[in-house]
Amino acid sequence: MTTSNLIKAAFLVFSITIITAFKVQQNSGQPKPGKALKIMVISDLNASYGALSYSPDIRTVIDRIKTIKPDIILCGGDMVAGQKASLTETRIDSMWTVFDQTVLKPISDLKIPFGFTLGNHDASPGFVKDRIAAKQFWDKHIGATHLDFADNTHYPFYFSYVSNNVFFVSWDASSAKIKPEVLEWMKVQLKSKAATNAGFRILLGHLPLYAIVADKNKPGEVNENADQSLNFFKDNNIDMYISGHQHAYFPAHKNGVILFNAGCIGNGPRPILGHQEPAKKAYSIIEIPVKTPKNFSFNTFMPENNMPIALGSLPDSVTGFNGCIKRIDIR
């Protein structure tokens, strides 16, 4: 098969019912006006500790936004390269300044809402300087997010917002432990009128529930109570959890919840556990129809060449130390 035909094959639209609640498809075309909320998902932008520059792939993806024209951009965390005790307040502030210049301002200038969650390199709970700097930066740039907040009382660590028929929650999953007060706040949010009236509910957090790469296949690199958290998602009608941290793209499902592991666009992509394919950087486009939001579609691309990553090129399932998750289209 020629390269041209391979590309065409990767773009073929297919629809698979993976669980009773969802129908998903990998989609290549532009959505019809007013029919879908187009979400661009990026994650793990950072380079080495203390870095004041980004991989060229970051600028490539940011430049591509004008063509993609998403309705909202979600970032799964690790926007800067903190989490090192020797970094000074000045250095940390400088990293956030470079992030603003390279990522946030170009997006804000386009008036595109920017939903984010704080990663371990942004605001790890054990790094007080990082937490203070992150709060100062995001308090100053709250207007630049262009978010329609439902509740920003605890911003930027955890907050909720809405877009079209979708209710979003960003929680503080910058470490493995989720504080009880965050969960209590989430229960209130997800029972609110805005959440219950929404056709779809997305949670955004940095650490995933389950390990999918060898380097992070250990406690501390995933949610410490994965099965319990999954039940919490199910009980509170969360449809999709988008996470980063593992630097590998793997859209999955478990117990009726979509677990969308976003790939990185910064340094250090990692191969999937038990899979022979080389590591790939990735960013994704998720399209959620207004009238039938659970019939969402998605496609994922490599930033360096904009080539699609075919769903079938990923393993059927991934089994880490704390559990197994199946690919989004596999029952």
Look up tokens 């301002």; give the residue: 105
Nearest to 253 by CA among 244, 240, 243: 240
Give pLDDT tens digits for 61-88: 999 999 999 999 999 999 999 999 999 9
Give pLDDT tens digits for 209-266: 999 999 999 999 999 999 999 999 999 999 999 999 999 999 999 999 999 999 999 9
Nearest to 202 by CA among 253, 243, 147, 255: 243
Residue 66 placed within a domain: yes
- CB-hemisphere CA count at 13 Å for 320? 22
d(C-alpha 257, C-alpha 70), whole Å:
24
d(C-alpha 103, C-alpha 105), whole Å:
6
**Distance from the first to the final alpha carbon of the chain:** 29
Angle between helices 128-140 and 89-99 (to 10 degrees): 40
Whole-model pTM over 0.85: yes
**Total domains present in the chain:** 1
Look up tokens 């998602």; give the residue: 233
d(C-alpha 176, C-alpha 201), whole Å:
22
Domain range enclosing 274: 36-327
Residue 272 placed within a domain: yes
Residue 207 placed within a domain: yes
Instruction: Give the per-residue pLDDT at 34.
Output: 60
Residue 158 placed within a domain: yes
Give pLDDT tens digits for 18-37: 333 455 554 434 434 466 99
CATH number of the domain bearing residue 307: 3.60.21.10
Residue 110 placed within a domain: yes
Residue 14 placed within a domain: no
Q: How confident is the model at residue 198 (pLDDT cuts 50, 70, 90)?
A: very high
Nearest to 321 by CA among 216, 178, 175, 174: 216
Count of C-beta atoms within a 10 Å radius of residue 291:
10
